[in-house]
Amino acid sequence: MADISIRLPDGSRHSFDQGATATTVAESIGSRLSKAAVAAVVNGEEWDLNRPLPDEAAVAIITGESEEGRHVLRHSTAHVMAQAVTQLFPGAKFSIGPAIENGFYYDFDLPDGKTFSDDDLATIESKMGEIIKANQSFVRDELSPKDALKLFANQPYKREIIERVSAGAADNDDAAEIGGGETISIYRNTDDFVDLCKGPHVPSTGRIGHFKLQKVAGAYWRGNEKGPMLQRIYGTAWESKAALAEHLHRLEEAEKRDHRKLATELDLLSFPHELGGGLAVWHPKGAIVRKLMEDYSRGRHDKGGYQFVFTPHLSNGNLFEKSGHLGFYKDGMYPPMEMDNGTYYMKPMNCPMHCLIFAARQRSYRELPMRLFELGTVYRYERAGTLHGLMRIRGFTQDDSHIYCTEDQMQDEIASLLDFVMSVLRAFGFDDFTANLSTKDPNKYVGDDAIWDKATEALRAVLVKYGLPFKIKEGDAAFYGPKIDIDVKDAIGRTWQLSTIQADFNHPERFDLEYIGADNARHRPIMLHRALFGSFERFFGVLLEHYAGAFPTWMAPVQARVLPVAEAHQAHAAEVVERLAAEGFRIDIVDANDQLGKRIRNAKLEKLPYVLVVGDDDVAAGTLGVNPRGGEVERGVPLDEFVNRLHAEVDAQLAVT
């Protein structure tokens, strides 16, 4: 008897017997889908596959290859890890175990202050293997808070979560564990292991298994440093053996490319502890690369119709009152400095100062679009625990631009901005772009709806025009305007968010910015914020990892090193250096004091694009041996020819548009 009706994402309706589950639905669609299924979305909520569906339910199947599906696999793996730990370490208390990007963790409190060792991870992994092999069902149940407190009598952290949720005081951590409402949901694997959880989970432990435990770290309960210190185990989990292997390979690659390690090895920059956390000094070789990046950026902005400006590093607090930063961004700013004529702050953003430039005199529509550009150094407070090399730093220089334009110019301006951004990023070796479009939060915004719609539509149209794959983040925009964020994919497939183009309906109001239109009346300009690299520091870090330290020839700190084979060849080697330097190349020489083989190896470790070896034949013929990075050695290359080749290579690298 067919007695419930189910609606699928394609809009089709299907009848099923009473008691049908999402598994039944998946099986009716096909065996591939039912094998890949890990959970379902039922009427907009994530559900277990084996929960009986209500009549008229809208059902979508979640498979393991989707981000939502991986989330379910990872969180289910976290449960299994907690089960393994409580079996191996009797008396262990467990607190929370969410899925995170690429994996999961679980926090434990071991009896007598015991801690996990790295050897324990292998033991826990093999115990998890047993649980997975046993294919235990994840059985959902719902209890009253009172019964739940009884069930978790020996688990103080779980009890605290239940108490907070029933008192209506749940925070994000709690909410990840259990849903709100009258009842508390739990998941039981065996009579011995039950966990508080809002679900969903895979139907049984046999459905997971492609996982690896990665490391142990200390973590305070609720992030509160006055609370107990727990032991956190991190792991990663994937939908297939291949996906897990690929991820582990990517991690290995990422470790080899860690920009902090490469920066030290290649003598590019450092983070001396005397300076304090999150602040870097650039050594000569790193500074060469940075200067080349800056020169290139300045050149492109010059050609792109930008006007260069400079603004100071600190300002009287009045400015940040006016801009609103002291209202909505104070946590990201450094504490105030009391000075002889007021209270001053380091600037967290350049925008307010650029508005002062616009407001300095009356503006005409003929001056618009006005594109102001600055390499502006800003200071933002980041907690010590979140600092990460150049990627998360406390003082950095933005390639920051603010564009003031009329409403009619907005769409073309946004299009040319995106074109410009992608063109510059291509010159640095990125060509795989995706974007996010953040739209209005209906509960929190300034400016009128019509202009929000117009700006959002302009941003969307330009993404469509350039064929950029993009996701819409509904309601994710800052209160002052919609934006697009541009992500690039690096050499090992990681995604970095770099550029932003953002409309702003707030600053022009607060600074009362106006221009005189063709109609002789006063109008409010539209303001666009645009960062391209984001910051030089972070972009340099991303480049360093993208290239694994082997910068393309145009930006390598040393483009070629000349090595005389022996004492007798030094004079000729010096002539080669002189010639190449005169052509504008960055060249050095290492004299024949050490063995040639050793000198070549060192040059390779420094990842130089070219090693040029000169010996007897070369002295006689005016040639050199060319040993390119990652290529074949070529002997007897005439010096003129090498000069031409090097020019051609650098020109080609910079000719990208």
Is 380 annotated as catalytic? Answer: yes
Nearer to Zn ion, 186 or 555 (CB): 186
A 10 A CB-CB count for 344 gives 18
R_g of the chain computed on alpha carbons = 30
What is the x/- site pattern for Zn ion, positions 175-214, by CB under 5 A? Answer: ----------------------x-----------------
Q: What's the rounded Cα separation, in Å, for the pair 31 and 23?
A: 10
Nearer to Zn ion, 347 or 529 (CB): 529
Given the residues 155, 231, 398, 559, select the one marked as catalytic: 398
Given the residues 400, 487, 490, 618, select the one marked as catalytic: 400
Give the footprint of Zn ion on residues 138-177 (CB under 5 A): none
Per-residue burial over 448-470, b if 16 or more Cβ lie within 10 Å, else e, is eeebbebbbebbbebbeeeebeb
Phi and psi based region of residue 601 (left: phi greater than 0; alpha: psi -120 to 50; beta: remaining): alpha
At its nearest, how many Å lie between Zn ion and the CB of residue 460? Answer: 21
**Contact call for residues 308 and 332 (beta carbons, < 8 A):** no
Q: Is 551 helix (H, G, I), strand (E, B) or coil?
A: coil
At its nearest, how many Å lie between Zn ion and the CB of residue 398? Answer: 8
Nearer to Zn ion, 322 or 579 (CB): 322
At its nearest, how many Å lie between Zn ion and the CB of residue 453? Answer: 22
At its nearest, how many Å lie between Zn ion and the CB of residue 133? Answer: 20
Nearer to Zn ion, 80 or 543 (CB): 80
- According to CB under 5 A, which one of 41, 351, 393, 543 is a site residue for Zn ion? 351
Q: What's the rounded Cα separation, in Å, for the pair 191 and 81?
A: 16
- Name 388's Cβ contacts closer than 8 Å, sequence gap at least 6: none
Q: Is 80 in the site for Zn ion (CB under 5 A)?
A: no
Q: Is 72 in the site for Zn ion (CB under 5 A)?
A: no
At its nearest, how many Å lie between Zn ion and the CB of residue 502? Answer: 7
Is 402 annotated as catalytic? Answer: yes
DSSP-derived pairing of the beta strands 342-346 and 395-405: unpaired
Given the residues 402, 440, 523, 586, select the one marked as catalytic: 402
Q: Is 325 in the site for Zn ion (CB under 5 A)?
A: no
**Contact call for residues 565 and 596 (beta carbons, < 8 A):** yes
**Contact call for residues 52 and 99 (beta carbons, < 8 A):** no
Is 173 annotated as catalytic? Answer: no
Is 400 annotated as catalytic? Answer: yes
Q: Is 93 in the site for Zn ion (CB under 5 A)?
A: no
Given the residues 351, 546, 561, 599, select the one marked as catalytic: 351
- Cα-to-chain-centroid distance, residue 240: 24
**Contact call for residues 396 and 443 (beta carbons, < 8 A):** no
Q: Is 71 in the site for Zn ion (CB under 5 A)?
A: no
**Contact call for residues 612 and 562 (beta carbons, < 8 A):** yes
Nearer to Zn ion, 400 or 545 (CB): 400
Stretch that binds Zn ion, among 26-34, 217-225, 351-359, 544-552 (CB under 5 A): 351-359
Is 399 annotated as catalytic? Answer: no
Nearer to Zn ion, 197 or 543 (CB): 197
Given the residues 164, 207, 380, 546, select the one marked as catalytic: 380
Nearer to Zn ion, 94 or 271 (CB): 94
**Contact call for residues 203 and 50 (beta carbons, < 8 A):** yes
Q: What's the rounded Cα separation, in Å, for the pair 335 and 330?
A: 9
Is 283 annotated as catalytic? Answer: no
At its nearest, how many Å lie between Zn ion and the CB of residue 612? Answer: 46
Nearer to Zn ion, 87 or 264 (CB): 87
Q: Is 312 helix (H, G, I), strand (E, B) or coil?
A: coil
Measured from each CB, the residue nearest to Zn ion is 197
Nearer to Zn ion, 308 or 638 (CB): 308
Nearer to Zn ion, 204 or 623 (CB): 204
Alpha-carbon torsion (420, 423, 427, 433), positive or negative: positive
Torsion of CA 404, 408, 409, 412, to 10 degrees: 140
- Name 649's Cβ contacts closer than 8 Å, sequence gap at least 6: 553, 554
What is the x/- site pattern for Zn ion, positions 459-498, by CB under 5 A? Answer: ----------------------------------------
Q: Is 380 in the site for Zn ion (CB under 5 A)?
A: no
At its nearest, how many Å lie between Zn ion and the CB of residue 377? Answer: 14
Helix and strand totals (H; E) in the chain: 21, 33
What does the DSSP assignment read for 480-497? TB-EEEEEEE-TTS-EEE
Instruction: Report how many residues bind Zn ion under the rule CB under 5 A.
Output: 3
Q: Is 501 in the site for Zn ion (CB under 5 A)?
A: no
At its nearest, how many Å lie between Zn ion and the CB of residue 531? Answer: 7
At its nearest, how many Å lie between Zn ion and the CB of residue 352? Answer: 9
At its nearest, how many Å lie between Zn ion and the CB of residue 344? Answer: 20
DSSP H or E segment with residue 625: strand 623-628
What is the x/- site pattern for Zn ion, positions 521-550, by CB under 5 A? Answer: --------x---------------------
Stretch that binds Zn ion, among 263-271, 336-344, 345-353, 597-605 (CB under 5 A): 345-353
**Contact call for residues 617 and 623 (beta carbons, < 8 A):** yes
- Cα-to-chain-centroid distance, residue 281: 23
Is 490 annotated as catalytic? Answer: no
* Residues engaged in binding Zn ion (CB under 5 A): 197, 351, 529
Query: Could you list the active site residues?
Result: 351, 380, 398, 400, 402, 483, 529
